[in-house]
Copies of this chain bind each other. A is one copy, B any other.
Amino acid sequence: MINRFLRHIKEGFYGVGRHSAMSVSSASAVTITLLLISIFLVVTSNLEKITSKIENSVKISVIVSYDFEAQEDLDRIDSQIKNIAGVKLVTFSDKEMEFDFYINSFPEEERVIFEPYRSENPMHHAFYVEVNEGSMLQEIASKISAIEGVEKTNYGGESSTMLVNALATTRQGGFILVIALSLLAIYLVQNTIKLTIFARSNEIWIMRNVGAKNGYIRAPFVVEGIIIGMLGAIIPILTTIFAYIYLYNKLGGKLLSGIFVLIPPHPFVLYISCILLAVGIGVGFIGSFFSVTKYLRWKR
């Protein structure tokens, strides 16, 4: 049994060598496919990280009505907000802080204009609410608006939701694209392997002629497919590791002067490498398995 297993492995390696032109063709198809997948994975993972970071930084500001400024009202509103599902953090900011914050948003020389108004402070008390997921901003804001004593809510206006939605769409779209492209790419590789095996369908048929069972014929082809998948994964893995580390260091880990922070290479490239290797082996295995099976039925 062990002997037979080893024989198939050996035959698989021989096969790669003896059909070197075809092996190179298949392996290069794997390589290109995995390079594509690698690019997509790196981009989407980083996009994923960036969007979740932005989403988290968007807050809902809750303006308290002038008629509900008593401490008990504020406590009630606070706890009511905290009870809403999806709310992460609620911070309170009183009128004074709001006024300071407001005038600080003007250039220094213009601030004097506002000082006279401090005594009759026109600002409201406010709560700032952080939510778990950017996509829930609108829903939570409208729930908060319904609380008694809340004059209005604001979450950075339309542009904020829009940005968050845009990023979410991009992320989802990107994810679907990764999956779709990976499937297409895998189909391509499978196609290539099928063709290399087609060129040997005669061989498969002769093996049956000589008394080889289907499983016996299939084994070395499958081993060959796996080897080709592994060989094809080498370049993409090395490229990913070195290119990502290089880019990360070159950019200082940031994109666009620091708004976006990249995923640190250390465990990340290892994960990507494992995924690439797994896809390579998987594609090689599946591609050769089904192709051989197909040609096994070519003749009796």
A residues whose Cβ falls under 8 Å from a Cβ of B: 21-22, 25, 28-29, 32-33, 35-36, 39, 110, 113-114, 117, 122, 158, 162, 165-166, 177, 181, 184-185, 187-188, 191-192, 194-196, 198-199, 255-257, 259
Contacts and interface: CB of A to CB of B under 8 A. Distances in A.
A155 to B, nearest CB: 15
A64 to B, nearest CB: 17
Contact of A187 (B32, B113, B117, B181): B32
A36 B181 contact: yes
Contacts of A36: 181, 184
Nearest to A169: B256
A191 B29 contact: yes
A35 B195 contact: no
Contacts of A256: 162, 165-166
29 contacts: A22-B195, A22-B198, A25-B191, A25-B194, A25-B195, A29-B188, A29-B191, A29-B192, A32-B184, A32-B187, A32-B188, A33-B188, A36-B181, A36-B184, A110-B122, A113-B113, A158-B257, A162-B256, A162-B257, A165-B256, A166-B256, A188-B188, A191-B192, A192-B192, A192-B195, A195-B195, A195-B196, A195-B199, A199-B199
Given A162-B259, A195-B195, 8 more contacts: A25-B194, A29-B188, A39-B177, A162-B257, A165-B256, A188-B188, A192-B192, A195-B196
A195 B114 CA distance: 78
A54 B196 CA distance: 50
Contacts of A196: 195
A65 to B, nearest CB: 15
A266 to B, nearest CB: 24
A259 B158 CA distance: 12
Most central of A122, A177, A185, A188 by chain B CB within 10 Å:
A188
B32 A198 contact: no
Contacts of A255: 166
A185 B39 CA distance: 14
Nearest to A196: B195
